[in-house]
Each structure stands twice: as structure tokens, then as C-alpha cells.
Amino acid sequence: MKQWKKLSLMLVLTVSLVAAGCSGNANKNASENPGTSTPSNNTSNSQPSDKTITIATNASTWEIPTNDDNPTQKYLEERYNVKFVNMRGTDENYKVMIASGEIPDIFPHNITESDMTNWARQGVIAEIDIEEIKKYMPSYTSHIEEVDPNAWNIGIIDGKNYGVPRIWLNGAYGFIPTYNGEWLEAIGYSEPPKTIEELEDVLTKFRNNDPDQNGQKDTYGISGRGKDVRVQLFNSIYAAYGVNPYHFKLAEDGTVTWGGVTDEAKEALRLLNKWYKEELIDPEFMTDDGELLDQKWSSKKIGYIDHKMYHHLFGAIDGNTEAGITAVYGQGLIGPAGKSIVMSNGALQVPLMFGKQVEEDDEKRIRILQMLEDLATNDEAYLRTVYGIEGESYDMVEGSPVTKTEFTSDMAREMGIGGFYNPLIERDTSTWKFHFTPDKLEFRDKVNAGIETTSDILGPTALETKGKYMATLTTLQDEFYIKAIIGNEDLDKAFEGFKNQWLKTGGQEMLDEATKVYKDREAAK
Ligand SMILES: [Ca+2]
């Protein structure tokens, strides 16, 4: 503990020097650590380690163990020959702790991309060589790369890598076009539409052919989350054009552009405007949110939704049955993009970060990486850290651990289970099986089969220009897009005006920075 405090003090000095604009600091670190990327000794995963390594962790700010030397801590200390110092930063105070020099070896799981970027530039977090992570975490990194080949992108700042990549596994899946099966049948469709033209036909008949057969024209084809989540609004229609208006996108010339100013988005707007005039779109789409959409779906006012991913849809099965709805799951609609694409949020997350002191301590860094590989991919270590002890804190039911009710909060904190010692919960495909019932797994694979996804090319990325202009640009775009959908203006002319204004209001500057970040990342790989 003493040693750790001394280290913290040194870091306070380092941080304040950087803050004071001491430009020599970065060079000093670089020249002191020329061998960071290749560890000088030949320690490998198979060699036993005699030396006990002390690791100060604050990996979770939520699931902080009640006591030091709790059973999970003891189990891990024995398993990895380490000694944990439990740091107890919460969401309210961990930034203050870090600012005052209490730098954990393992950082909290919920750091924002802008904090990561600032801390990297201030010398608070450790640079870690990608090849070293791959060497000591071979299974984990290969699984991550399978889910998203761009998994390393987020941690690369100014050409250097700052952490172990993490992904949100569900984020890789898309928003599934979903239809009221009874309505489809009523209008003569035995399967969901495959193309954007077929969707138009379905929506037209959902509006005009009395699909609920109550003798009244009281149904619409589609609404959307115009009020609360614009990135989801009509996402399946934009996806048919290969774009999302609220995502960064790679342009044909290799630069990064913004979906909202592309010709693809303009053409999608043209179609939406036509649909709006034909009354296929519920005029309340501007004030609808997720909850209202769910109500309109359940009360059979709309027959098509595209704001749910497979796990939402799985959770909605009972509700649909109660409402007398057979949900029919479709694929991405084939349109001008020429293939079946749906929007996804993307799997990429801010990586798991380490304190600067970890960069300078080869033994500690390697031990942490070896430990993380085991925690993320070894069934026994995973179950023990996340769920605890079988028969005591959880039972295995059909191959899935089920936590006993009394172990959901206080008793779990006493045992030390959860995310505090295992920062890679639900981050590796090999242990994901423990979080699924077999029928949910089957559902996931069925509704996502054969679907390609599109997501933001940059993922969670801090850009200086984003901080400066994004709020203004978003307001500009929100207003223009609604006007373009419900208005009568000449779209080509109006879109040109919007695009020019968007570019002039900081948009061009943001695209320049986005392109630079994208190219730096590509070069660092
Ligand atoms: Ca009706």
C-alpha cells in the first residue's frame, strides 16, 4: 500500500507537469520506455510466476465488494499469485480520485471516450502494445476480432493503443424489421417483404386495406422514434439505401463523411416524403418515442416496427401473444444499396484501461493481461468471479447459471462476485453461453441469420470538433429532416442548402478531423 501511495504521488507530479504544458514529458516517457512493445524477458503463459504482484483495481464502480479479503478476492489471489488492493471509486468520485493522483492499475469499466482521450494525452493511462495484448490474451483477442475486425480502433489515440479492446456483444446485432403476421396474411402476404418496393406495397395495404378488418381506416404502416432516438427513426428505410443519417460513413474517396449529408440519405428522404404524402407514415412519428411505438404496435395501430433488436423482440414474445399478434421477423430490405442490410449500434466500446504505472512495469502488465485472458475465457474462473459458488450463490439450470435471489445485491458484494474482479463480463463469445437460455440463443440465431449490418464507421470516438459543433449540427439536421419528410419543398434544392449550411457550421471541420482519426487508426494497425 505504501509503495502504491508513493506511485500515486509521482503521478500527481506527472499529471500536473503535463497540465502546466511541460512538453518534454511525452518525449521523456517515450525514451524511458523504448521496450514497452516487446517485453525483455521471455515470460509466457505457461511459465509459473513466483513473484506475488500487487494490483490496485477499481474495475467496477458499481459492484464494489463490501470487505477486503472476500472469498472471490482470495480465490483469485491464489489462482494468479497476486494481491489485490480494492479501490472503491464510485461514479460520483472516481474522477476526483484520478485527478488527485489515486490512479488504479485497472480502470473502471465505464470511462467515456473523451475522458480516455484526455487521460491518454495527459499521461494518466498506459500505452499498451497491440502485439503484446495478442500474445498474452490470444483467445480473447481472436474472439473479439471475429465479432468486429475494427475492435482495436477505439483505443488508438494519436497512433498509440491505450487498452484492451472491449465489445458489447449484443451491439453487433441489428434492428430487425418486424411485421404483424395477421395483417400480412390479411393483405395476402405469406412471407415478409424482401425489397423496399414490396415494403411500400405492404405499408400501402396496411393503411388502405383495413388489415384489422374493423371496417374503419384507422391503421398506419409505420411510425418511428422521432421524439427520443433519431438514429433509429426509419432506420430500415435508410439502411436499404446503405446509410444512416446519424452515423459517420466511409465515402468512396476514402474520406469519412456524415450519413446525413450523403446523396443516399437524400434519396431515402425523397421516398419517405412520398410515403408521408400517401399517409403510409403515422403523422405522430415526430412525437412518438419507444414506449408509444410499443403501445401502437400492441394496440394494432401500426403493423411494422424496426426499433427492436433480437433481445428486445425475444422479451416481447409474451406481450405479443397476449395482444393476439404473431410477430413475423424479416430481413433487411433490398433497395438501392443492392443487398439486405440493417442498422446496428455497433459492438465497439471504450477499451479497458490501465494506469500509467502499468506501462512502466513489465511484470505487472503481463500478469494483468494473463489474468484477464483467463477471467474472460476460462469457464471455471468466469463462473467463480461472475456467479460465485455453485449451490451457494447460483444453480446450474440446463447449462446456464441462475443466480439465487438473495445473491443479487448485498450478499453478492460480500462474496465479491460481479464485475469488480472480472471487468470482461459478457465481453467474450466463449462465455456468452452462460448468459443465455437455449431458446434465446436459438431465437437470436434465427432472426439474425443472413443479415448484414451497417454501423457508425468511427464507433465511440472523441473528436474535439464533435464537442464544439455536434449539438448545433444535430439541431440543424433534426429540423431539416422532419421538414424534408413532411414538407413540399424542392428536395434537391433544399438538401443542397442544408448540406452547405451543415458543412459551414463546423460540419466540414468535423469531417476533416474524423477522416484524420480514421486514417491514423488504419495506419496504426
Ligand atoms: Ca381498420
Residue 433 contacts residue 440 (beta carbons within 8 Å): no
Tell me which residue of 309, 328, 306 sits closest to 192, measured CA to CA. 328
Between 48-57, 113-122, 169-178, 231-240, the lowest mean confidence (pLDDT) is in 48-57
DSSP β-bridge partners for residue 344: 174
Query: pLDDT at position 34, please?
Result: 36
Ligand 1 centroid distance, CA of 280 (Å): 14
Ligand 1 centroid distance, CA of 217 (Å): 5
Measure CA of the first residue to CA of the last residue in the chain; give whole Å.
38
34 CB-contact burial (10 Å; exposed 0-12 / middle 13-18 / buried 19+): exposed
Mean pLDDT of 421-433: 94
304 CB-contact burial (10 Å; exposed 0-12 / middle 13-18 / buried 19+): buried
Confidence class for position 19, pLDDT limits 50, 70, 90: very low
pLDDT surpassing 90 at residue 45: no
Ligand 1 centroid distance, CA of 437 (Å): 38
> Greatest CA separation found in the chain?
80
Count other Cβ atoms within 10 Å, centred on residue 487.
Answer: 14
Ligand 1 centroid distance, CA of 226 (Å): 24
Residue 87 contacts residue 104 (beta carbons within 8 Å): yes
Query: pLDDT at position 14, please?
Result: 41
Evaluate the CA torsion angle 106, 107, 110, 113 in order and state its sign. Answer: negative
pLDDT surpassing 70 at residue 271: yes
| Block residue for cell numbers 489515486 | 102
pLDDT surpassing 60 at residue 346: yes
In 24-107, DSSP assigns E strands to 53-57, 82-86
Ligand 1 centroid distance, CA of 212 (Å): 5
pLDDT surpassing 50 at residue 28: no
| Block residue for cell numbers 504505472 | 357
| 175-198 tens-digit pLDDT | 999 999 999 999 999 999 999 999
Tell me which residue of 522, 525, 499 sits closest to 254, measured CA to CA. 522
Distances (CA, A) of 453 to 119, 171, 267, 306, 314: 32, 10, 20, 13, 19
Confidence class for position 255, pLDDT limits 50, 70, 90: very high
pLDDT surpassing 70 at residue 291: yes
Confidence class for position 21, pLDDT limits 50, 70, 90: very low
Cα 8 from Cα 142, distance rounded (Å): 34
Q: Which runs of consecutive H residues, i.e. helices, occur in 163-316?
A: 181-186, 196-208, 235-240, 263-277, 290-298, 310-315
Query: pLDDT at position 504, please?
Result: 98
Query: pLDDT at position 398, please?
Result: 83
State the pTM of this model. Answer: 0.83
Ligand 1 centroid distance, CA of 296 (Å): 13
pLDDT surpassing 50 at residue 111: yes
Between 6-10, 249-253, 475-479, the lowest mean confidence (pLDDT) is in 6-10
pLDDT surpassing 50 at residue 171: yes
Segment holding 401, helix H or strand E? strand 400-403
Ligand 1 centroid distance, CA of 208 (Å): 8
Rounded (5°) CA angle 28-33-36: 150
Query: pLDDT at position 145, please?
Result: 95
Ligand 1 centroid distance, CA of 195 (Å): 25
Ligand 1 centroid distance, CA of 210 (Å): 4
Say which residues have a Cβ less than 8 Å from residue 419's Cβ, sequence separation at least 6: 59, 60, 62, 63, 109, 386, 425
| 390-405 tens-digit pLDDT | 999 999 998 889 999 9
Query: pLDDT at position 389, please?
Result: 97
Query: pLDDT at position 525, please?
Result: 73
Cα 430 from Cα 432, distance rounded (Å): 6
Tell me which residue of 402, 379, 398 sits closest to 390, measured CA to CA. 402
Ligand 1 centroid distance, CA of 207 (Å): 8
pLDDT surpassing 70 at residue 69: yes
Mean pLDDT of 50-65: 95
Between 10-24, 65-79, 422-436, the lowest mean confidence (pLDDT) is in 10-24
Ligand 1 centroid distance, CA of 297 (Å): 14
Which amino acid belongs to residue 471? A
| 491-522 tens-digit pLDDT | 999 999 999 999 999 999 999 999 999 999 88
Ligand 1 centroid distance, CA of 270 (Å): 27
Ligand 1 centroid distance, CA of 353 (Å): 55
Query: pLDDT at position 49, please?
Result: 65
| 355-388 tens-digit pLDDT | 999 999 999 999 999 999 999 999 999 999 999 9
Count other Cβ atoms within 10 Å, centred on residue 381.
Answer: 21
| Block residue for cell numbers 464533435 | 466
Ligand 1 centroid distance, CA of 219 (Å): 6
Ligand 1 centroid distance, CA of 211 (Å): 6
Ligand 1 centroid distance, CA of 273 (Å): 23
Say which residues have a Cβ less than 8 Å from residue 405's Cβ, sequence separation at least 6: none
Ligand 1 centroid distance, CA of 380 (Å): 56
Domains defined for the chain, CATH in brackets: 2-20+53-171+349-447 (3.40.190.10), 178-343+463-524 (3.40.190.10)
Ligand 1 centroid distance, CA of 483 (Å): 28
Cα 368 from Cα 374, distance rounded (Å): 10
Tell me the average pLDDT of the chain: 91
**Whats the size of the chain, residue-wise?**
525
Ligand 1 centroid distance, CA of 467 (Å): 47
Q: Which residues of 169-205 are buried (b: 16+ CB within 10 A; e: fewer)?
A: bbbbbbbbbbbbbbbbebbebeebbeebebbbebbbb
Mean pLDDT of 290-301: 97
SS (H, E, C) 227-247: CCCCCCCCHHHHHHCCCCCCC
Ligand 1 centroid distance, CA of 303 (Å): 11
Tell me which residue of 113, 229, 228, 161 sits closest to 467, measured CA to CA. 113
Tell me which residue of 242, 245, 258, 237 sits closest to 307, measured CA to CA. 237
Q: What cell was used for 326?
A: 404473431
Q: Which runs of consecutive H residues, i.e. helices, occur in 299-437?
A: 310-315, 317-323, 356-359, 362-377, 379-386, 410-415
Residue 58 contacts residue 106 (beta carbons within 8 Å): yes
Count other Cβ atoms within 10 Å, centred on residue 259.
Answer: 23
